[in-house]
Amino acid sequence: MKEWFEELSTFVEKDRISWGESVLDLHSRDQSHHTPVRPDVVIWPQEVKEVCQILRFCNEKKIPVTPWGAGTSLEGNPIPIKAGVVLDFSLMNKILDIRAQDFQVDVQPGVVYQDLNEKLRHMGLFFPPDPGARATIGGMIGNNASGIRTVRFGSTRDYVLRLKVVLASGEVLQLGSRASKSSAGYDLLHLFVGSEGTLGIIVEATLKVVGMPPDSSAMIASFVDLREAGNAVFEIMRAGLEPGALEVLSEECVALIKKESDLDVPLKNLLFVEFLGPSMNYLRDVVLAAEELLKETGADTIQKGIGREKRDILFKARYQLGEMIIRNHPDRGFLTTDTAVPISKFPQLLMFARKITHGLDIPAYIFSHAGNGNIHVALMGKKGDNKEWSLIQEINERLVKKALELGGTCTGEHGVGIGKRPFMELEHKDAIVWMRRLKEFMDPNGILNPGKII
C-alpha cells in the first residue's frame, strides 16, 4: 500500500476506495486491444466536493488521475497507463432534472445514455447520440461519441449546453448556458467535449434532447458489389433525403449476423436506411425516392416498409457485431479502425478498405456509419503473433493516411486515446503544437489522464 493511499482514504468512505486485485483489473482495460495497465487505486466519488479534494491532493503530489465511465471505449481512452488514481463515476449516476418544456436534462456523468433514453421515451423525447455500448454520458462527452443516429441528429458535441468540470487544480468551472443560443465570450465549453478527461473532469452536464419523430420506415437493400452500396449511400445523401440512419454492413458481417441470429436478410453486402418523419405521407414519398436511387445504383434486392420490430432486431445485431466478431475468433484480438471522410469520398474510402483487406489471412470485417462517411474495419489478429499485428497496424495506418488525403479524420467517433496518438500530427499539422500548449496551460502538472491525445 502506497503512503498516499491513507490520505486519499480520508476523502471518501471506506467502501468507495479500493486497491483490491480484481477491482484494479477491471479498471485496467477498455474494450480495445490496447495493453491493460492497472491503476494504483480506484475511487468511486459521489459528490463534486470529493472530486475537488481528490484532484487538489493529486495535483500537489503529481499523482495521475483518470476518469472512468463504463470502460466501453475502443482506443484505450481510459486505460491508466501511468497508473495512479482511477475515478469511477458509476455512483454519480443520477438524472438530476428533466425539463421537458425546454428540451433539456441535467445529469451526472455516470448516467448510462440508454437509461436516460428509457426515461425520456415516455415523454416522446430522446438524446440522439448513440454509441451502442452501455456508455455513460461522461464518457460520451469525453469522446464526443456518436453512432447510428448521428447522420441525422449530430454528435454528442451538438447536445452539450452546460458543463460543470473540475480542473486539475481542484477548481470547479461552470461553463455554457441554458439559453438555446449565446454569443457571450469564449467557447470554453466545447474544449472539454472530446478532451477525454485530459483537460478537466466532467461532474455534471446539461444536455439538449429532441422530440422523437412520430413515424419511421426502414429499408434494406442488398448489393453484390460493395462499390455499388457505397455509391448508393452517396446518392441518398446527395439527394438530401436526410435519413435517420444509413448503415452499411459488408457481406462478411452479414454472414456472422445470420449465423448468430435469425434475421431474415440476403447474404450480401447490405445497406440499411431508415427514414424518420412527421407523417406516413412524407415517409411514402421519401421511401419512393430512395427506392429509385437504390435501383439506379444497382441494388440486388430491396425490402421496404420494415417496421420498428425488425428495425430494432437489426440495430441490436449491428451493435452486437463487435462482440459477435470477437466470439467467433476466440484465439484472436481485434483492432477497429474509425476513419471518416466527406460523403463524396465515401465510396472511394470504402473501396480502398475493401482492397487492402481483401485476400488477407487476417479476418477483416467492414461496417460503416455510412451516412457520416465513417468506416470501421475490425481486424482480427492472432494473440501474440507479432507479424499479424504489425500488418494490422500497417493497414490501420494506410486507412488513416487515405482518409486524411481525402480531407477526412483519423477518428470519427472513438476518440484518440492511445491508438490514434501517432496520427495527431499528421491530421492537425501545426495545430498540434497549440493542442500541446493548451494541455500544459490547463493541466501544468500533467496529472489528468496522462499519455492520451497528445
Number of residues that bind a second copy (CB under 8 A): 88
Judge contact between 407 and 66, C-beta under 8 A. Answer: no
**Contact window for a second copy (CB under 8 A) among 57-65, 85-93, 219-227, 434-442:** 434-442
Cβ closer to a second copy: 310 or 428?
428
Stretch that binds a second copy, among 32-40, 191-199, 252-260, 391-399 (CB under 8 A): 191-199
Does residue number 407 form part of the binding site for a second copy (CB under 8 A)? Answer: yes
The DSSP secondary-structure symbol of 158 reads G
- Of 104-123, binders to a second copy (CB under 8 A) are 104
Q: What angle do CA 296, 300, 306 make, to 5 degrees?
A: 95
**157, 316, 398, 401: which one binds a second copy (CB under 8 A):** 157
Number of H helices, E strands in the chain: 15, 19
Print the binding letters for residues 128-147 with a second copy: x by CB under 8 A, - otherwise: ---------------xxxx-
* 101 near a second copy, rule: CB under 8 A: yes
- Minimum CB separation of residue 446 from a second copy in Å reads 15
> Can residue 190 be called a binding residue for a second copy (CB under 8 A)?
yes
List the grid coordinates of 239: 439527394
Dihedral of CA atoms 408, 413, 418, 423 in degrees, nearest 10, equals: 0
Please tell me the distance from the alpha carbon of residue 350 to that of residue 256, in angstroms, as a whole number. 20
Contact set for a second copy, span 277-296 (CB under 8 A): 277-279, 281-282, 285-286
246 near a second copy, rule: CB under 8 A: no
Q: Among the candidate windows 262-270, 271-279, 295-303, 377-385, which touches a second copy by CB under 8 A?
A: 271-279
Cα angle, residue 24 at apex, residues 136 and 201 outer, rounded to 5°: 40
Contact string 412-431 vs a second copy (x = CB under 8 A): xxxxx---x--xx--xxxxx
E-assigned strands of 9-108? 17-18, 41-43, 65-68, 85-88, 95-99, 104-107
Q: Is 373 in the site for a second copy (CB under 8 A)?
A: yes
Comparison of 115 and 158: residue with beta carbon closer to a second copy:
158
- Which of 27, 63, 7, 43 has the alpha carbon at shortest distance from 443? 63
Distances (CA, A) of 132 to 147, 194, 414: 7, 18, 12
Minimal distance, residue 382 CB to a second copy, in Å: 29
Which residues between 195 and 234 bind a second copy (CB under 8 A)? 195, 199, 211, 234
Nearest distance from residue 439's CB to a second copy, in Å? 8
Residue in 342, 355, 405, 444 binding a second copy, rule: CB under 8 A: 342
Closest CA to 229 of 347, 137, 335: 347
Burial of 350 (0-12, 13-18, 19+ CB in 10 A): buried
